[in-house]
Structure 1
Amino acid sequence: MLKTNAFDAQTAGAISADKLAMIEKRRRLLGPAYQLFYQDPLHLVKGEGVWVFDVDGRRYLDVYNNVPSVGHCHPHVLKALTEQAGMLNTHTRYLHDNVLNFAEKLIGTMPKELAQVMFTCTGSEANDLALRIAEDFTGGTGVIVTDYSYHGMTKAIAATSASMLPYVKLGSDVRTVAAPVHNPEHPEQVGKQFAANVREALADMARHGIKPAAILIDTFFTSDGGFFDPPGFLQEAIAAVREAGGLYIADEVQPGYGRSGEHMWGFERHNLVPDLVTLGKPMGNGHPMAATVVKPHILERFGSESSYFNTFGGNTVSSAVGLAVLEVIEQENLLPSVYKAGRAIVGGIEALAERFEGIGQVRGAGLFVGVDFVDKDGNPDPARAIEVVNDLRQHGVLIGASGPHANILKIRPPLVFTDQHAQILVSTLEKVLANP
């Protein structure tokens, strides 16, 4: 797995003695598996809306963090959390209104076929649970994912996260397919090629006596670099999986909760109804929450034979928080603003691409935008992308990189990001590009 934009002590520039001491303490206490962002890591102490503040009081525009989906420290969400925490926090084996009210509102945002929800604490757990249910229902074990997928950290789900190769191995029954390629000149080919790749994976499973259980897809192909168009291109591939007896698991941890600005869920962009949907980070605005939503007939045997319990999933405080997040999205009518801000980002960076060499494709759906950096021959240019990421950080804008070559700017700010914030991003990027 590429350590995209990870701090490297060997190449770090001038860093204060206090920060170096903190980095060393972190390494000593947390071990080597944890990573830090940026050549000069940030020491953050406060967040508000789309802004975060470091220990010295400097303000940064957060253009990367989808976890606080309705903005850092949103007062309505904080009120729900603190009030419920002051009354009762317990699991779902007691009756309580919160989990029912939250479940009802969450399910109400989805197609009617997706009528039952099971709560977890992380997206990894949600995907793990969805995979267990899919295997139970189909009797299969084969899973199709994309070449640079990321779906989580449990043992089973790490084995479906191809971006963690080569050290973390794929499961023996997992097959990878190339992510779709953005093709504005021939958009009809995007879905056909992706479906052909999926059929090839299914054929390989058949040759090895593997029965398919599911295709597990992040509907924005986030780790692969972000691919969104044309709307509907996933339909042929999903039909092929279902024809072979597998299910469609939509990983909505990053595409969901209105990120496209047009729909609440990424799969709606393709006019599809998944068999299972997995949710995560944005559900709790920073509070650890996740869920698996499922068609009831798929869950019936697993639920009655296996049972399910999660000590913290769906607890009274989490349910209050989750409900509050949905209320903010609805009451503040965020989706139109998300769409407008996303168009401002794409349009602004497309204009920069006409002036500055090195910017390739600019792709977006609402507040998820991917910007390719390429060399003069059109090949991925990760060095330039990471340089831009770190230069933006120095200018007060936080952003990330993604894709198998780490050459794609990953833009996915909180949903309260406006077109005015988009102008700050674009103007700062212009400044960085003009002074390499």
Structure 2
Amino acid sequence: MIGPSTYYRPEHRAALDAHTGELVDRREAVLAPSYRLFYAQPLEFVRGAGTKLYTRDGDDYLDVYNNVPSVGHAHPRVTAAIAEQSARVNTHTRYLDASLIDYAETLLAALPAGLDTLSLTCTGSEANDLALRVARHATGNRGVLVTRHAYHGVTAAVAEVSPSLGGIDALGAHVQLIAPPVGDGSAMVQDARRAIDALVASGDGVAALLIDTAFASDGFVAPSPGVKTALAELARLVRAAGGLVIADEVQPGFGRLGPALWGSALHGLEPELLTMGKPMGNGYPVAGLAARRSVMEPFGREVRYFNTFAGTPVAVAAARATWEVLHDEQLPAHAEILGASLLTGLDELATRHPHAAGARGRGLYAALDIVDPETGAPDETTTIRLVNALRARRVLISASGPHNTALKIRPPLPFSVGDRDRFLTELDAALTELAR
């Protein structure tokens, strides 16, 4: 099965209780097989609040995975803004709307230098799709560089640049893979030189480097001086070949990595295009592309682009309320402080548990590798057991990376000291159980 090995599989059906089994059966009868469920024992949630999700029985689960409700599940200010605006009017961007202009001015002022033009979409996939179209129009080239296990979305265009969706056979012929910037980043730079030469030789040329600034599906790479140096050289090579830099901030953006707000800012990147999504509307479908006007003006003149549901007054209300909560509650600063203590806790666990290694993080985005104690190699079987053991302890988490063995730790940003302690306690207990 393609994708995280922690998904529910048909062989798990016999162990389900009657109610869960019935829901799974009904779901499988009407939904496409590509819709998948987490965990060997899937969960049904009926309510969310802050960092918790609740079952119909009232059991609370600590959410250490879902970055979409970035300011917390069902935040009252966001839900009120959506309800109030939807009760007034909801049209589209072909009518004037002061709230849309206000939000665009506020957001662009907080983005990396030079990004002065906003296009709104509904999803991060659409934002990355649009970014590729713009880059190809601006450069006249088609080729794209992405990291080896990247994920950038599900439209036809971005699925071709998302090797994590279906492996190398699913890549477009115009796509070249490069290493993520681990270690000193030299492997990434060497790969980039080879990839650029291959794209030029094929006639595709270089349209863009598309890079997730957290390298989430590659197992997460934290910002560091070495990473910054490697990415600077990578950007130089791409631009020298006529391409543009697209920073995919769909997962790391909006303060998850701390007060810098954007992974590209932490890496010192100044992209021509930057994409946003997931946490932008706290669960309401809001996403976007910020770009340099010099890149967008020719595209706007020569290409017709419109998105019916993007940038509507309700979408803007959700995005604006999320932005205000993010800053009023000082969540990026909180993410940096609490994230540092979380990483300390993960490091300490790794010294005591032979299955745990390679703790790394920035802000409230962290990863912990699960390995074979004898060889140090990635251990997918133990990772599956650990994710399900934490589910049994009412902690929600998943895994990513090339081997699906890096715990993906990215809770809602209001994650508290108590939440941190609960997570570390349950993780400690689950790792102890696995060692028996």
Q: TM-score, normalised by structure 1?
A: 0.96
1:205 corresponds to which residue? 199
1:421 is displaced (CA, Å) by 1.3
> Is 1:140 aligned to 2:138, yes or no?
no
Moved over 3 A (4+): none
1:170 maps to a residue whose letter is L
> Is 1:221 aligned to 2:215, yes or no?
yes
CA distance change for structure 1 residues 78 and 168 in 2, over 3 Å: closer, same or farther? Answer: farther
- Does the 8 Å CA contact 2:112/2:265 hold for their aligned counterparts? no
> Is 1:239 aligned to 2:236, yes or no?
yes
The superposition leaves residues 7-30 of structure 1 with CA deviations (integer Å, 9 ceiling, x where unpaired) of 012145631111101001000110
- Does the 8 Å CA contact 1:117/1:292 hold for their aligned counterparts? yes
- Does the 8 Å CA contact 1:48/1:73 hold for their aligned counterparts? yes
1:144 is displaced (CA, Å) by 0.4
2:168, 2:33 → 1: CA distance? 15
- Does the 8 Å CA contact 1:263/1:269 hold for their aligned counterparts? yes
- Does the 8 Å CA contact 1:159/1:168 hold for their aligned counterparts? no
C-alpha RMSD of the superposition? 1.3
User: Aligned residues, how many?
Assistant: 429
1:340, 1:118 → 2: CA distance? 32
Alignment of 1:11-26 (within 5 A): 11-12=12-13, 14-26=15-27
> Is 1:383 aligned to 2:377, yes or no?
no
2:417, 2:237 → 1: CA distance? 40
1:78 is displaced (CA, Å) by 1.1
Larger mean Cα displacement after TM superposition, 223-232 or 278-287: 223-232
2:324 corresponds to which residue? 327
- Does the 8 Å CA contact 1:105/1:323 hold for their aligned counterparts? no
Identity %: 43
2:83 corresponds to which residue? 82
1:273 corresponds to which residue? 270
- Does the 8 Å CA contact 1:49/1:70 hold for their aligned counterparts? yes
> Is 1:364 aligned to 2:358, yes or no?
no
- Does the 8 Å CA contact 2:120/2:310 hold for their aligned counterparts? yes
The superposition leaves residues 234-254 of structure 1 with CA deviations (integer Å, 9 ceiling, x where unpaired) of 111111111111000000000
1:227 maps to a residue whose letter is V
- Does the 8 Å CA contact 1:399/1:410 hold for their aligned counterparts? yes
Q: Which structure's residues are more often helix, by fraction?
A: 2
Alignment of 1:281-300 (within 5 A): 281-300=278-297
1:347, 1:39 → 2: CA distance? 30
The superposition leaves residues 62-115 of structure 1 with CA deviations (integer Å, 9 ceiling, x where unpaired) of 000000010001111111111101100010111111211111111111134100
1:13, 1:274 → 2: CA distance? 50
1:167 is displaced (CA, Å) by 8.5
- Does the 8 Å CA contact 1:62/1:398 hold for their aligned counterparts? yes
Which 5+ residue runs of structure 1 have no aligned equivalent? 184-188
Which 5+ residue runs of structure 2 have no aligned equivalent? none
Give the one of 287, 303, 306 matched to 1:306. Answer: 303
- Does the 8 Å CA contact 1:13/1:40 hold for their aligned counterparts? no
2:106, 2:80 → 1: CA distance? 19
1:424 corresponds to which residue? 422
- Does the 8 Å CA contact 2:145/2:209 hold for their aligned counterparts? yes
1:118 is displaced (CA, Å) by 0.4
Q: TM-score, normalised by structure 2?
A: 0.96
2:171 corresponds to which residue? 170
> Is 1:318 aligned to 2:315, yes or no?
yes
2:311, 2:354 → 1: CA distance? 49
1:186 corresponds to which residue? none
